[in-house]
Chain A
Amino acid sequence: MAADLTPASCAVVLRDEATASGLADMLHQFLAQTVASSPAKARLACRLRGALLFRATEDELLTVSIAFSAAGIEVGDAPGPDPRLPMLTADFLTTAHLTTGEERPLGLLVRRRMHARFRLGQALFLWRVLGLLRIAPDAAPARAPARARFRWALAVGLLALAVLAVALVALMTASR
């Protein structure tokens, strides 16, 4: 039995829902809510292909697989580590801090609060999954994008003026 909490475009399903661990259940809810809340996250999730394992430090018997395919995202309990799949191991608080951006993946790895096992070819996939799991900061005030656009326009305008000035100087020098 599987539960689908998201639109059909990028379905997030929980495998064997009745017997799923809390970790699988919560990761399923987290992913489904993330994908449902943001079209950008949904697009990213739909484009991902591959699978990874997530293991809880609190109970290393708990390993959950997250598989991304054309059919959607499937979350479910895994029997244990699989050497073919990349694996992240972290405790609840570390995982939370990772998703909120309070901690950076590299910092956690260096301080050994998170363990990652992956092959070089899986690094980009893993990085993109971590990007998907990252909770977007609370919506910025509506003025922020307009302000950013104004700054860009100002920069482009100043650059254009500078180019024009250089061209004029070059023309005047050439005409003497």
Chain B
Amino acid sequence: MSAIYSQAWYDDLKRLIEGSAEFAARAPKERIAMALEVVGDAGSPYVPAGQERHYLIVLDGAKVTTLDLLPARHDGRDLGFRFTAPATVWESIAAGLLDPITAGLRGTIRVRGDMRFLMKNADAVKILVDLYAAQVETDWPAGKPPY
């Protein structure tokens, strides 16, 4: 069990993605880079208001070639997608309390990028977000949502 936002947690997620036969069958053939932006808010004990965490995830086929915590917001160059949401939203998804697709449709997760690519690879996207939400073996050292 790994703590939320720890490198080990993301390594677990990477293993989960790369171990998914369903994702391997549906993964886009193209290399795709995504920025995951966690915006701190008063509700989160992990990323307080005023702080941000920026991750870069690069998928090449069904392989996660990069999953890095960035020192600052990605400048957008060669970026396919940008997903931005408050920390409590990402944490609620990781805790299995919030459906990521519904969060995206409501706008609690802001999505920027090539929507036609997103539509063409909707099955792969659905598998990815389900994997993120299914990672229930999470340690919550400062408390688990709902807060």
Binding site for B on A (CB under 8 A): 20-26, 29-30, 33-34, 37, 56, 58-59, 62, 92-93, 95-97, 99-100, 135
Contact = CB atoms under 8 A, between A and B. Distances in A.
Interface string B106-147: 111111111110111011001000000000000000000000
A22 B105 CA distance: 4
A126 B110 CA distance: 28
A34 B111 contact: no
Contacts of B122: 92-93, 96-97, 100
Contact of B106 (A21, A93, A135): A21
A26 B104 contact: yes
Contacts of B109: 22
B8 interface: no
A62 B107 CA distance: 10
B22 interface: no
29 contacts: A21-B105, A21-B107, A22-B105, A22-B107, A22-B111, A24-B107, A25-B107, A26-B104, A26-B111, A26-B115, A26-B118, A29-B113, A30-B116, A33-B115, A37-B116, A58-B99, A58-B102, A58-B105, A59-B105, A59-B106, A62-B105, A92-B101, A92-B105, A92-B126, A93-B123, A96-B122, A99-B119, A100-B122, A135-B120
